[in-house]
Amino acid sequence: MVALLQVHPSRAQDLLEPDELQTEPALPVCYYADSFGNRCARLVAPPGLIRLTNSTLVRCPDDPDEVCTRARERAVGELPDEMLVYLLNSRYCEVDRLSKIAYELFGHLAPGWGRVQAICDWVHEKVEFNYQQARPTKTALDVYTERVGVCRDYQHLAITFCRALNIPARYAAGYLGDIHVPLRLPMDFSAWFEVYLDDRWWTFDARNNVPRVGRILMAAGRDASDVAITTSFGRADLVYFFVVSEEEGAPLQHLEPDLNQGSTTSRSTATLSV
Q: Is the peptide bond before 28 cis (omega within 30 degrees of 0)?
A: no
Q: Cα separations (Å) of 66 from 86, 95, 210, 227?
A: 21, 27, 11, 23
Q: Does residue 97 lie within any of the structural domains?
A: yes
Digits of tens for pLDDT over the chain (274 positions)? 999 999 999 999 999 999 999 999 999 999 999 999 999 999 999 999 999 999 999 999 889 999 999 999 999 999 999 999 999 999 999 999 999 999 999 999 999 999 999 999 999 999 999 989 999 999 999 999 999 999 999 999 999 999 999 999 999 999 998 888 877 677 889 999 999 999 999 999 999 999 999 999 999 999 999 999 999 999 999 998 899 888 887 654 444 433 333 333 677 777 777 6
CA atoms lying within 13 Å on the CB side of residue 140: 30
Q: How many folded domains does the chain comprise?
A: 2
**Looking at the structure, do residues 46 and 176 belong to the same domain, yes or no?**
no
At 140, which helix (H) or strand (E)? helix 140-146
Across the strands, what pairs with 240?
273
**Looking at the structure, do residues 219 and 235 belong to the same domain, yes or no?**
no
**Looking at the structure, do residues 97 and 7 belong to the same domain, yes or no?**
no
**Looking at the structure, do residues 177 and 161 belong to the same domain, yes or no?**
yes
DSSP string, 56-70: EEE---SS-S---TT
Give the residue among 135, 162, 176 at the shortest CA–CA distance from 222: 162
- How far apart CA 60 and CA 14 sit, in angstroms, is 7
Q: DSSP 3-state helix, strand, coil percentages of the chain (rounded to 5)? A: 25, 25, 45
**Looking at the structure, do residues 199 and 90 belong to the same domain, yes or no?**
yes
Q: Are 223 and 94 in contact (CB under 8 A)?
A: no
Q: Domain containing 26: what range?
A: 2-58+228-273
**Looking at the structure, do residues 147 and 254 belong to the same domain, yes or no?**
no
* DSSP structure class, residue 3: E
Residue 234, SS3? Answer: coil
Q: Are 257 and 45 in contact (CB under 8 A)?
A: no
pTM > 0.85: yes
**Looking at the structure, do residues 86 and 156 belong to the same domain, yes or no?**
yes
Q: Does residue 173 lie within any of the structural domains?
A: yes
